[in-house]
Amino acid sequence: MKEAKWKESLSNLFEDLRILEECRVETPENFDHFCEFIAEPSFESLSKELRKYGIKSKFHKKKTKSITLMVRFPKSKIDNFHYIIALPKNSVELKLKLRVRGRRDKKSPLKEKEEPFMEFVSPSEVLKLSKEELIMDVIRHYREFNYNALRKPE
């Protein structure tokens, strides 16, 4: 009886490892889908709207690693704010990280903070996010960054 238990345990171990490896392969593909169908359209819409306020922005993607929205100071070529969604290395689920970088003024160095990406959204729901939900999160972080930059002395 005990022998059958360890054999079952060993079998379960190899099945779990197989599933983890499968997830490790699928997760970067899912991140690419997230970028293509949610993040890029969101960043495009937001960039278009920012231009109405004299603010240029651009975004770029590092294949299966991260996607970044960079916002410049108004009427400037200097980056003011970066919103970076990153897939941690060897991830087995879409538990993404958010890095926010910014500078107080055009001469300040970029400062960065990292936090979980949209904490209230489970990894299984990331691909179900709407464009509007992502845009609202970017705006929330952009607002928070700018308010803090204006209120806090260096």
Arithmetic mean of pLDDT over the chain: 88
Has residue 41 got a pLDDT over 60?
Answer: yes
Domain ranges of the chain: 2-151
Has residue 20 got a pLDDT over 70?
Answer: no
Residue 72, beta-bridge partner list: 79
Cα dihedral 46, 126, 102, 88, rounded to 10, equals -140
Q: pLDDT tens across 96-148, in order?
A: 999 999 998 888 888 899 999 999 999 889 999 999 999 999 999 999 998 88
- Determine the residue type at 20: L
Q: Which of 63, 3, 8, 75 is nearest to 35 (CA)?
A: 63
Average pLDDT rounded to a whole number, residues 31-45 = 95
Has residue 60 got a pLDDT over 80?
Answer: yes
Average pLDDT rounded to a whole number, residues 13-28 = 73
Average pLDDT rounded to a whole number, residues 41-52 = 96
* pLDDT score, position 152: 66
φ and ψ at residue 66, rounded to 5 degrees: -165, 165
Task: Tell me the pTM.
Answer: 0.85
* Contact (CB, 8 A) for 39 and 67: yes
Sequence-distant (6+) residues with CB within 8 A of 69 are: 43, 46, 47, 57, 58, 59, 82, 83, 84, 138
